[in-house]
Structure 1
């Protein structure tokens, strides 16, 4: 218990605002790598996921590639890319490794959002004379947005936790304090850095949870709807609980 109290005191100590790597600067670097990586991953994965979800083609390939990408160890990939890019391009190598980490979750959220849509809604749009682009932007994208935000949420949490390893190649971030504390056996500093990463993850998760709730189209209920095949009497019994 004293270790946690010491770690919290370490976080809010005035000296955390000083030095070449202050805590606010490290947090800014951490969030910058996270933001850039997730945005780049979204630019790649969202159009591809929407294309797969709209056409129904390539899903098996996407699932196989996503599964293989999830199995790649992030630290090993980061070191490999640094060797390939060279020591003068370590930031680019780090961003590429984090982008590859984020793509599977965003890709899955993009095409799963389209697949979860009731096909009768899309058929109704076609029956009304909508073009494929109108179906995409007026039906599929709005209805699939909650699951896409869920994919972005999962990817962001994975990246914000993994950006910690960027400090191994001297790129800063909150991981700097954790890695610096290991050889010094400064467990207060290690725990303090870990708590900051956890706090960042919780804040980002909360923001995405609110956003995921806000993007649900008006009139779409998350609750269970009555069976359309049921008779009027049966539907009434499902909607209105029996009273004694």
Structure 2
């Protein structure tokens, strides 16, 4: 199983520690693009118009400045760096040993800076969205799409692709061919905050239950104890199944 997550906007860093070693991250095929994006965002972030280019508030001067030190900033496991609503609900650190091992195999965060990372990958906090058109690189979703198309199908193997990404990050990779038949988009009704929280709970539940199901309808059986779920088949070839999920009270 491959469970795709978006990154959080909020990120937590350390004051001490080793910097990121790009050669030690998962998916080494992405190393060259990671280096290019990191260099480009560092350059942009040193300019007065950085907030406009990055599409963030000018008040986020500290986070923008942090982009200029990506090569030397202390790194932490991605499961600790990403700290938003979804990741609070996932609560990777509190998983038991077996569930955590599954999470480390199944979970992949799609990132504008790193392309794709697993929970154990040591990364630095950054401020960069997949929606950015980055000078020197171009639109990031377009830049990452061919790269992710090489590595994510292999990560999925014969299992399902459970897609918890937002539309901004879904633009960076779309499952193709037979893999699209095993692609499930998790949709949550209601406000964005609740949607993120529920997707985090879904990812956690799948890792805790540990059933690596191979057929999409079986996913309903795995989730039904903890969620109200309904499954809608794809409207046409190449589109995902849609799983509507609401956490049970």
Give the TM-score taking structure 1 as reference length. Answer: 0.26
Say which structure is richer in strand: 2
